[in-house]
Amino acid sequence: PELGFDTDQQDIFGFFSMRLTDTWSVAAGARYDIDEGQILSDTIQVRYTDDCFVMCVADDQIYYQSLSIDTDRSLMFRLEFK
Model confidence over 36-73: pLDDT tens digits? 888 999 999 999 999 999 999 999 998 876 666 677 88
What is the pLDDT averaged over residues 4-28?
89
R_g over Cα of the chain: 16
Helix, strand, coil percentages for the chain (3-state, nearest 5): 0, 60, 40
The predicted pLDDT at position 2 comes to 58
3-state secondary structure of 44: strand
pLDDT tens digit string along 26-38?
A: 999 999 999 888 8
Residue type, 33: D
- Please report how many Cα atoms fall inside a 13 Å half-sphere around the Cα of residue 66, on the Cβ side: 12
Beta-ladder partners of 65: none
Residues facing residue 37 across a β-bridge: none
**What rounded mean pLDDT belongs to the chain?**
88
How far, in Å, CA of 65 to CA of 11, rounded? 15
Q: What is the pLDDT, as a whole number, of residue 72?
A: 84
